[in-house]
Amino acid sequence: MIFDPNVILNHLPEIISGTGVTLALWIAGMVLGILIGFVVATLRRYGGRLIDLPLGLAVEVLRGTPFLIQIFLVYYGGPFIGISLDPIPCGLFGLSIYAAAYYSEIFRAGYASVPHGHVEAGECLGLTRFQIIRRILLPEMALIVLPPSVNLAVILLKESAVLSIITVPELTTTVSAIGSQEYAFLEAIFLLAIIYWVIVEAAARLGRLAEARLSTFRFAAS
Amino acid sequence: MSFKLFSLLVQASVWTIGISVISIALGFLIAIGLSAALLSGKALYRRPAEFFISFFRGVPLLVQLLLIYNLLPFIGLNVPSIVAAIIGMSLCTAAYQAENLRGGFESVPKGLIEAADMAGFSARQVFLRIKVPIALRLTFPALVNEAIMILKSSSLVSVVGIIEITRMAQDLASSTYMPIEIFSSAALIYLVICWAVALAGRYGERSLPGAAK
């Protein structure tokens, strides 16, 4: 295999745009996933059994089935119940819901990690439930929640490659298309692997940096 | 949805389970070598292992499968796509399992190893009788999790044309125009398999020696 740099240089704009779509979907999916996941974990904690059971079941289903099947269900099944989504919104929807299921479990473990006495102390001081969540639970669980959240972020970035199967114009779709267009499959896929590798390593390092910063901050504060 | 369609999906699950079981087993064997290289303390062994692990954990499985699927014929190995799929899945899970095993070996309490030394165990005995059982005990839950991940990830081998659950579901959905029923059934089958593995894992964990009763 002779690696021809022109294959890449000629298609640089498409590669950059594909990378952009991957990064945008990843970040948007992650942010939505964290928000929905947090709401789900909070509802499951305070909403009573009637809310906890169905939400728990939904989380189990999302965590127990492949992301690809979930995407197929939304993309091919959606139109049959009147929801026709283009690949990008469909991908974003699927990714955020998938992320939310895993994030909700992370937040649930985070809630459980805060000693009950701290919550009681807050109640004794007359704090409202919302204040207890914001002032006591969230700051205390931040350090517990961060490492699995970083792991999950990395998993989501890699999982987003699956969206190429429903033709979302992200990195995998774009670079594989260039590969078949130029008859350079292997070069294209190596390039793809390297781009993902660099982004994943960068994301993981950034996450570790955030953990280190947060833990020194906690030590300084206590 | 008819029973016949559902039974086709169930039949296809044999491929899903088969690929997953073989990949987990092969991956475990590779992972033992990788974790030994990581813990050997020699850069000559450690560095390549670290590189392997970083690559297979840093690249999406889909891209790895495409890479191996295209690379094997290129280097002159014309293997059936099922072999390419199993190679890809095994290498990927090996990277994750190796990290788990390394963590397990590192968490074996030093005092136990010293005690065995004092009792006159040879290095080999310390390894086989102390380190391996404790490390396996510590990494067993992670191994069960990894098995479940692999079961779900095996849906990606549908891309290289293997008729497992996902590919069967895709084919049936496009021929019957019943995507909701078919993909939901496929999801249900995955769910049942994953639950069964999780349940078996919990049972196995309890029956392992040294388990908290």
Helix (H) or strand (E) holding B85: helix B81-106
What are the chain B neighbours of A60 within 8 Å (beta carbons)? Answer: 191
C-alpha A191/C-alpha A187 separation (Å) is 6
Structure tokens, B28: 């475990």
Q: Which residues of B140-154 are buried (b: 16+ CB within 10 A; e: fewer)?
A: bebbbebbbbbbbbb
Residue A222 has pLDDT above 50, yes or no: no
| Structure confidence by residue, pLDDT tens digits, B194-209 | 999 999 999 988 887 7
pLDDT bracket for residue A58 (50, 70, 90): very high
Query: Within 13 A of B35's CA, how many CA atoms are on the CB side?
Result: 25
Residues of A in contact with B148 (CB under 8 A): 64
By C-alpha distance, the chain A residue nearest B152 is: A66
* Burial bucket for residue A143 (CB in 10 Å: 0-12, 13-18, 19+): middle
Please give the Cα distance from A99 to A62 (Å, whole number). 9
User: In the predicted model, what is the mean pLDDT of residues B37-49?
Assistant: 90
CB contact under 8 A, B190 and A65: yes
Whole-structure pTM value: 0.90
Which residue type occupies A205? R
B183 vs chain A: nearest CA distance in angstroms?
Answer: 6
- Distance between CA A173 and CA A180 in Å, rounded? 11
Percentage of residues in chain B having pLDDT higher than 90 = 69
Amino acid identity, position B61: L
Rg (CA), chain B: 20
Q: Distance between CA B52 and CA A197 in Å, rounded? A: 12
Q: How far apart are CA B103 and CA B139, in angstroms?
A: 8
Cβ neighbours of B195 in A, within 8 Å = 64
Q: Which chain A residues touch B92 with a CB distance below 8 Å?
A: none
Torsion-angle region of residue A3: left (phi > 0), alpha (psi -120 to 50) or beta?
beta
Question: How many whole angstroms separate alpha carbon B78 and alpha carbon A37?
Answer: 45
Q: Is the Cβ of B62 closer than 8 Å to some Cβ of chain A?
A: yes
Handedness of CA B78, B79, B85, B90 (dihedral sign): negative
Per-residue pLDDT tens digits for A60-106: 999 999 999 999 999 999 888 888 889 999 999 999 999 999 999 99
Q: Mean pLDDT of all residues in chain B? A: 91
Which pLDDT does position B205 carry in this prediction? 86
- Give the chain A residue nearest B181 (alpha carbons): A77
Asked if B203 has any chain A CB less than 8 Å from its own CB, the reply is no
Q: How far apart are CA A70 and CA A74, in angstroms?
A: 6
Chain B stretch 133-162, residues whose beta carbon is closer than 8 A to a beta carbon of chain A: 148, 152-156, 158-159
* pLDDT, greater one: B169 or B210: B169
